[in-house]
Amino acid sequence: MDIIKALTLEFSLRQTQVENAVKLLDDGNTVPFIARYRKEMTGSLDDQVLRELADRLSYLRSLDERRETVRASIEEQGAMTEEISVALEQAVTMTEIEDIYRPFRPKRKTRATIALAKGLKPLADSILNPENDTPLEALAAEYINEELGVNSPEEALAGANDIIAEIISDDASIRKRLRVVCSNFGFLSASSDKEDMGVYEMYKSFKEKLSKVASHRILAINRGEKEGILKASVEFEEERALKIINSSYAKDSNPYKEFLENAAKDSYNRLLFPSLEREIRNELTDNASEKAIKVFALNLKQLLMQPPVKGKVTLGLDPGYRTGCKVAVIDETGKVLATSVIYPAPPHNKIAEAEKTISELIKKHSVEIIAIGNGTASHETEVFAADLIKKLGLEVKYMVVSEAGASVYSASKLAAKEFPDYDVSLRSAVSIARRLEDPLAELVKIDPKAIGVGQYQHDMPQAELGNALSGVVEACVNSVGVDLNTASAPLLSRVSGLSDSVAQNIVAYREENGAFKSRSELKKVPKLGPKAFQQCAGFLRIVGGKNALDSTAVHPESYDAAEKLISLLGFTEKDVVSGKLSNISEKLSLRGADKTAEEIGIGVPTLIDIAEFLAKPGRDPRDDLPAPMLRSDVMSLEDLKPGMELTGTVRNVVDFGAFVDIGVHEDGLVHISEICDRFIRHPSEELSVGDIVKVYVLSVDTNKKRISLTMKKK
């Protein structure tokens, strides 16, 4: 396969773009580095396209590798023909290659292999391609052989049937035709004889066309089947399938047509359909998982890119009943100022004591904002905080923060190293506070799969999910940039080109030698070689260092070009940090980008990027997004009434809708049909995690704690 040509067509790109992208990837360059600093080579392909291109490149190379393995095996068996060779060359999926290889794959003991051992292959061939119309019994009588275990014509014909059934089952063209027709016209059904179906109630008697069944339903049915609640199967008309098989194997001109029709039926029911059903269900699951992973990745990106609450002292509350509510106060940089434990919720109800502790902490440290974890006892803690704010007349706001994965982090070796003097629960309170102050810097410490934005993440292929989510974290960290002198090792390890060990070496070097004064000083860090420096340098920032350009996203390899640009446009290097370059892009436009790029000796895309980096040296792309919604009061589920208008924050986006936090502890569901008046294929077309939205209450089920919301004003 010409992989470059295939990728060019598939992605609708120019061949040079694909060739250069593949070369850059093969040379060990990371996706963030290529996307930002090699735009001339790739035609400005963004990181998302580059990741998809890299994934597809890997698949096509694996496909070619398997193709050659299969070719070698068939040739070794002396069975290669021109027809098989062409079919192998034209195969574009693993399934097609495996279908071609199926007849030649070493088989375990089957009814057909037993019949072959009895010498019945010639009989099967004579029935498939008869030279005359000898009666079947007479034809079969010639193969009676008591030594081989063939004692009668009936036994010979039964063996021939088994051989023919397997030949039909192994026919790549038949399998392909049946797979396509079944996928288009078959049904996925689910049923159950259980009394209590729980969340699977809608699947008690379910049937939908394979071509139309929604991804989240496929994953739900799979999980219900795994839990022993549902029985699922693929349904397809046997008559339709047999017509396809018989058109190739039981033709009217064959005197043994009736025998071949019976063999086709046996093949379909015993071999073909069970195999195709497994393949189709696997394919449905793979496609559903792929879509779910994309939704998870999109939600994760939006969560990580939530605007930080900068420059505020934050008090974090990790709610709890019996063990109390853990408290941590952190300063504007995330440094822990104080910790405590209060007991405002049942069974202790020490509200007055808790109020005294919190009010003292707020006054002593000038706390401006409170972050409350959304787990156990969250609602009671939220009520306590809102009442305290109101009672004391404090200029303090609060926000309920997702604590998904906080327990994973607090019990980790990383947390133990970061906070050796705190117990696990206090570490969680610190993490909750930091999640509000800088979501990205804190959440990178946690396995992305534990963050819990998406659906059915435990049912997806974990390796693919992990790779996709790691790519999202990497993309977010590098798009924001990292302060080299304050970043933790987990955050640094997500920077382009840096491994866990090198990130730890950077922190160790910083602790031993003090703050980095320049990017070039990175070259002194153990195990950080020239390639790693090239990949990471542009994404690391140094504020107040020797070189003003170190505080920008300009790559060190472009410092000469940046200095020439600054000079040509009448600025000085001191203007970089003073903010006097805010109009540099406009000045460049007036002078002419093409002319200036040629004069400096760089490409136009790089020149334009340099100008943008210089205009906003410390730019954080998260600042362009709406700030998180903070509250000072609280409601309960019982306060909600149909038609009530509320403002909420989107917490999760799934295939069938979005979950919105409206300040009552339980998130409400806006079904996809209630998001907007126009038709949308997926809620992500209109909503993102973190969006602040206006919603209206449709219904409330206090027993099941379910809230139905709409974004359409009724």
Q: What is the CATH number of the domain that holds 534?
A: 1.10.150.310
Peptide bond between residue 153 and the one before it cis (omega within 30 degrees of 0): no
Sheet holding 231-235, edge to edge: 205-209, 187-191, 231-235
Mean pLDDT for all residues in the chain: 93
- Residues 437, 319: one domain? yes
Same domain, 616 and 685: no
Backbone angles phi, psi at 372, to 5 degrees: -115, 125
Task: Show which of 596, 624, 652 is a domain's final residue.
Answer: 624
Query: In this predicted structure, which of 81-85, 207-211, 422-426, 652-656 has the lowest mean pLDDT?
Result: 422-426
Q: Are residues 258 and 286 in the same domain?
A: yes
> Do the strands 706-710 and 482-483 form a parallel or antiparallel pair, or are they unpaired?
unpaired
Q: What mean pLDDT do residues 125-132 have?
A: 94
Q: What is the pLDDT of residue 301?
A: 92
pLDDT value of position 121: 97
Residue range 222-242: average pLDDT? Answer: 96
Torsion from C-alpha of 171, 174, 176, 182, nearest 10 degrees? -140
DSSP assignments along 641-709, one per residue: -TT-EEEEEEEEEETTEEEEE-SSSSPEEEEGGGT-SS--SSGGGT--TT-EEEEEEEEEETTTTEEEE
Tokens 């903070």 belong to 630
451 or 691, which is more confident: 691
Q: Exposed, middle or buried by CB within 10 Å (0-12, 13-18, 19+), for 232?
A: middle
Average pLDDT (677-682) is 93
Does residue 464 fall inside a structural domain?
Answer: no
Q: Taking Cα atoms as reference points, which of 622, 658, 627 lies closest to residue 299?
A: 658
Q: Are residues 144 and 182 in the same domain?
A: yes
pLDDT grade for 57, boundaries at 50, 70 and 90:
very high
Of the residues 453, 485, 510, the one at which a domain ends: 453
pLDDT of residue 457: 78
At 107 the pLDDT is 81
Amino acid found at 501: S
Residues 220 and 247 placed together within one structural domain of the fold = yes
Asked if 714 and 642 count as a contact pair (C-beta separation under 8 A), the reply is no
Model confidence at 713, pLDDT cuts 50, 70, 90, reads: confident
Contact criterion met (CB below 8 Å) for 660 and 649: yes
Look at residue 141 and tell me if it is in a domain.
Answer: yes
Rounded CA Rg of the chain: 33
For residues 331 and 706, what is the distance between their CA atoms, to the nearest angstrom? 37
| Side-chain half-sphere exposure of 312, counting CA atoms within 13 A | 22
Q: Are 110 and 103 in contact, with CB atoms under 8 Å apart?
A: no
**50 vs 34: CA distance, rounded Å:** 8
Both tokens assigned to 518: 């320049």
Same domain, 373 and 513: no
* CA atoms 683, 686, 691, 694: torsion sign: negative
* Mean pLDDT (whole number) for 308-312: 90
* Total count of domains within the chain: 5
Answer whether residue 175 shows pLDDT above 80: yes
Is 643 in the same domain as 668?
Answer: yes
Residue 12 included in any domain: yes
- % of the chain exceeding 70 in pLDDT: 100
Q: Quick one: 247 and 364 in the same domain?
A: no
Query: Does a structural domain hold residue 458?
Result: no
Q: What is the pLDDT of residue 528?
A: 97
Q: Report whether 111 contacts 160 (CB < 8 A).
A: no
d(CA 628, CA 435): 12
Question: Which residues lie below 8 Å from residue 700, measured CB to CB, with a gap of 6+?
Answer: 637, 640, 641, 642, 706, 707, 708
The CATH number given to whatever domain includes residue 676 is 2.40.50.140
- Percent of the chain residues past pLDDT 90, beyond the cut: 80
Tokens (6 digits) for 559 = 């410092």
In this structure, are 400 and 508 located in the same domain? Answer: no
Instruction: Verify that 354 and 429 share a domain, yes or no.
Output: yes
Cβ neighbours around 300 below 10 Å, total = 23
Residue 633 DSSP SS3: coil
Q: What is the CATH number of the domain that holds 204?
A: 1.10.3500.10
> What HEC string does 236-248 produce?
CCHHHHHHHHHHH
Asked if 523 contacts 569 with a C-beta cutoff of 8 angstroms, the reply is no
Tell how far CA 268 is from the center of its chain: 37
d(CA 358, CA 379): 17
Whether 477 is covered by a domain: the verdict is: no
Side by side, the strands of the sheet bearing 369-373 are 336-342, 325-330, 314-318, 369-373, 397-401
Q: Yes or no: say if 195 and 428 are a contact pair by the CB < 8 Å rule.
A: no
Q: Is 525 exposed, middle or buried (0-12, 13-18, 19+ CB in 10 A)?
A: buried
* pLDDT greater than 80 at residue 453: no
Tokens describing residue 5: 């040509």
- Predicted pLDDT of residue 385: 93
Beta strand pairing status for 645-654 and 692-701? antiparallel
569 and 687 assigned to the same domain = no
pLDDT digits (tens, 9 = 90+) for 458-500: 788 888 988 999 999 999 999 999 999 999 999 999 999 999 9
Give CA separation, 433 vs 328, 360, 362, 655, in Å.
Answer: 7, 18, 14, 31
Rounded Cα distance between 14 and 27, Å, is 20
- Comparing CA positions, the residue from 183, 107, 119 lying closest to residue 149 is 119
Residue 431's domain is classified under what CATH number? Answer: 3.30.420.140
Q: How far is CA 363 from CA 108, 359, 394, in A?
A: 76, 6, 10
Q: What is the DSSP letter of 453?
A: -
Phi-psi region at 2: left, alpha or beta (left = phi > 0; alpha = psi -120 to 50): beta
Looking up tokens 């070369």 gives 23
How many CB atoms are closer than 10 A to CB 99?
21
Q: Which residues pair with 540 in a beta bridge?
A: 482
Helical (H) or strand (E) element with 483: strand 482-483
Q: Are 654 and 454 within 8 A, CB to CB?
A: yes
The pLDDT tens digits for 512-571 are 999 999 999 999 999 999 999 999 999 999 998 999 999 999 999 999 999 999 999 999
Q: What is the pLDDT of residue 430?
A: 94
Report pLDDT for 405.
82
Q: Are 491 and 510 in contact (CB under 8 A)?
A: no
The 3-state DSSP class for residue 146 equals helix
If residue 313 lies in a helix (H) or strand (E), which one and from where to where? none
Task: Say whether 341 sits in a helix, a strand or coil.
Answer: strand
Assess if residue 371 is contained within a domain.
yes
Provide mean pLDDT across the span 203-221.
95
Res 452: pLDDT: 72
C-beta of residue 444 within 8 angstroms of C-beta of residue 473 = yes
Length of the chain equals: 714
Give, for 235, the enclosing helix (H) or strand (E): strand 231-235
Helices (H) then strands (E): counts for the chain:
31, 15
What does the alpha-carbon distance between residue 144 and residue 153 come to, in Å, rounded to a whole number?
7
Question: Which of 104, 137, 161 marks a domain boundary?
Answer: 104
Tokens of 333: 């940089």
Distances, alpha carbon 358 to alpha carbons 22, 317, 372, 535, in Å: 57, 10, 13, 46
Q: Return the pLDDT at 447.
A: 86
For 550-588, give the secondary structure using H, E and C.
HHCCCCHHHHHHHHHHHHHCCCCCHHHHHCCCCCHHHHH
| pLDDT per residue as tens digits for the range 141-159 | 999 999 999 999 999 999 9
**Cα separation, 348 vs 326, whole angstroms:** 14
Average pLDDT over residues 265-282: 97
Domain that holds residue 509: 500-624
Cβ atoms of 190 and 231 closer than 8 Å:
yes
How deeply is 138 buried, as exposed, middle or buried, from its count of CB atoms within 10 A (0-12, 13-18, 19+)? exposed
Q: Pseudo-torsion of CA 256, 257, 259, 261, nearest 10°? A: 160
445 close to 417: Cβ distance less than 8 angstroms: no
What mean pLDDT do residues 28-52 have? 97
In a domain, 490, yes or no: no
pLDDT, average across residues 702-706: 88
Q: Does residue 123 fall inside a structural domain?
A: yes
CA distances from 443 to 308, 326, 378, 418 (A): 12, 19, 20, 15
Same domain, 68 and 123: no
Tell me which H or E stretch contains 399: strand 397-401
Tell me the whole-structure pTM to 2 decimals.
0.85
